[in-house]
Amino acid sequence: MAAKVAPRPFPSPEKLRMLLDSNIIIYAARPENSELRRFIAQCTPAVSALSYVEVLGYHRFS
**Nearest one of 60, 54, 62 to 24, comparing CA atoms:** 54
Q: What is the pLDDT of residue 10?
A: 72
The torsion angle over the Cα atoms of residues 19, 23, 24 and 29, rounded to 10 degrees, is 130
pLDDT confidence band for 14 (50 / 70 / 90): low
Q: Considering only residues 36 and 11, tell me which one the structure prediction assigns the higher pLDDT.
A: 36
Percent of the chain residues past pLDDT 70, beyond the cut: 89
Contact 60, 23 (CB under 8 A): no
What would the pLDDT profile of 33-52 be if each residue is shown by its tens digit? 999 999 999 888 999 999 99
| pTM metric for this prediction | 0.69
Share of the chain residues as helix, strand and coil, in percent rounded to the nearest 5? 50, 15, 40
- Please, which residues have CB within 8 angstroms of residue 58's CB and are 6 or more apart in sequence? 22, 26
